[in-house]
Amino acid sequence: MKIRRLWAISRKEFIHILRDPRSLGMSIGIPMLLLLLFGYALTLDVDKVPMAIWDQDSSQVSREYIARFTASPYFSLQVHATNYRDLESAVDSGKALVGLVIPVGFAGKIASGREAPVQLIVDGSDSNTATIAMGYARVLTTTYSQDVVLAQIHSKGESVATSPLELRPRVWFNPDLESKNYIIPGLIAVIMMVIAALLTSLTVAREWESGTMEQLISTPIKSPELIVGKLLPYFVIGMFDVLLSVLMGEFLFHVPLRGNIALLFAMAAIFLVGALSLGILISVVTKNQLLASQLAMVTTFLPAFLLSGFMYAISNMPQVIQWITYLIPARYFVVLLKGIYLKGIGLKVLFVEAGLLTIFGVIMLILANVKFKKKLQ
C-alpha cells in the first residue's frame, strides 16, 4: 500500500464531498439535527401526569389528601369533575391520564379509624406510563395513611414503636434519575452507526453508476488503497461529528462525562472504522446507490435502535433475541459510552466490549477489501 496513491483517493473523495453540499450537510447537519430532536423529544421521565379528581366528600380531610397530589411534581390537576360522566370524559379525551374518586364519608371514616377506600382510574393505553403513575399514587397514598395513623396515635398520647429496618436508597451514576443522562450517550452510538454506514454505502456504488469505476480499475491503485482511501475522509467527518455530539451533550444537555475523554474518542474511532467499512461493504456488494442506501438503513438503524440496549433492556427481551443482539456492534458501543459517561470506568471493566468492537471493525474492513475486485463484473 503506497501513501501517495492512498492520499490521491482520499483527496478525490474530499473534493467530491466539498463540491456536493448535500453530502456535506447530511454528514454533519443530520447527526446534529437527530441529536437535538431525539434529545429533547425522547424522554422516559414520567412527571406532571394529567389528573382529574371528583371529590364527593368536599371536606377539609379530603382536600388535604388531594393536596398531596397537587403539590407533587408527578401530577398535574387538569379537571375538577362533578360526576362520573365528567371523569370518564376527561380520561377518554386524553385530558387526564388518571382519575381520582373520593367517596362521601371519607373524612368520617378517617376520623373514626376505619378504612377509607378511594378509587383511582388509570388509562392503560400507555401501559408503561400508567404503571409508573399508579406507583406514584400508591406511594402518596401510603405516606398520607402513615401520617394519619401517626397523628391519631399522638392524639391519644401513645408512643410509636420504631421500625427495626430503615431503607435508605442511594442512586449511583445517575442520582437524579434523569433519562437524558443515559439517552444521549446511547443516541451518539445509534446516530454514528446510521450516518457512517449510510454515507460510505454510496461511495463505491456512485463510482459504478457514474462510470468512473472503469477508470479507477485501469489505474495501478490496489483494492486496499481504494477502500481505505475512500474511508479516510468519512472517518475524519465522523470523528468531527463525535466531537460535536460530545460538546452538545456537555453544554446543551448537561450530561455528565465522568470518564476518560481520550478513551471515549478511541472507542468511537474503532466503532467508526467498523461502521464505515460496513457501509463500503454494502456499496461494493450492491453497486447501486438507491439499493445501498436502503440496505444500509435497514441493517444499521433498526438493529442499533431496537437491539443495542439503547432504548430497551436486553435482559427483558426473549432469549432468542438476546442471542441476536451479540451480532449488533452498537450494543457494545452503547455499553462503552454509558460506562465512560456515567460510571467513569475504563478498559479494566470494559475490555470485553472494547475487544469485541475491535474485532467487528477488523472483520468489516477485511470483508470490504476481500469483496472488492478490480473487475468490471
**8 A C-beta contact, residue 149 and residue 272:** no
Mean pLDDT of 156-182: 77
Mean pLDDT of 346-360: 93
Give me the chain's average pLDDT, please.
Answer: 85
**Sheet of strand 98-102: strand arrangement:** 75-80, 49-55, 98-102, 119-122
Mean pLDDT of 141-160: 80
Mean pLDDT of 72-89: 91
* Amino acid at position 94, single letter: G
Q: Give the CA count within 13 Å in the CB-facing half-sphere of 203.
A: 33
pLDDT band at 105 (very low <50, low <70, confident <90, very high): very high
For residue 270 the three cell numbers come to 474503532
Tell me the C-alpha distance between 277 and 200, whole Å. 8
Q: Where are the alpha helices (DSSP H) in the chain?
A: 3-19, 21-41, 60-70, 84-93, 106-111, 127-155, 180-200, 203-210, 213-217, 223-251, 261-286, 289-306, 319-325, 329-338, 347-371
Pick the more confident residue, 122 or 287.
122
Pick the more confident residue, 356 or 204.
356
pLDDT band at 10 (very low <50, low <70, confident <90, very high): confident
The domain spans of the chain are 10-43+178-371, 49-155
* Amino acid at position 333, single letter: F
Mean pLDDT of 297-308: 84
Q: Give the CA count within 13 Å in the CB-facing half-sphere of 200.
A: 36
Angle formed at CA 329 by CA 327 and CA 333, multiple of 5 degrees? 140
pLDDT band at 66 (very low <50, low <70, confident <90, very high): very high
For position 272, what pLDDT does the model report?
A: 92
DSSP state of 81: -
**8 A C-beta contact, residue 63 and residue 55:** yes
- What does the chain come to in residues? 377
Q: Give residue for cell 400508591.
A: 138
Q: Which helix (H) or strand (E) holds 98?
A: strand 98-102
Note the pTM of the prediction, 2 decimals. 0.81
CA nearest to 365, candidates 189, 235, 228 = 228
pLDDT band at 162 (very low <50, low <70, confident <90, very high): low
Q: Give residue for cell 393505553.
A: 125
For position 246, what pLDDT does the model report?
A: 92
Select 49-155's CATH number: 3.30.420.40, 3.90.10.10, 3.50.30.40, 3.40.1710.10: 3.40.1710.10
For position 213, what pLDDT does the model report?
A: 67
Tell me the C-alpha distance between 248 and 161, whole Å. 52
pLDDT at 146 over 80: yes
Pick the more confident residue, 76 or 18.
76
For position 269, what pLDDT does the model report?
A: 94
41-55, 220-234, 301-315, 330-344: range with highest mean pLDDT: 330-344
pLDDT band at 323 (very low <50, low <70, confident <90, very high): very high
Q: Which phi and psi (to 5°) does residue 79 adopt?
A: -135, 130
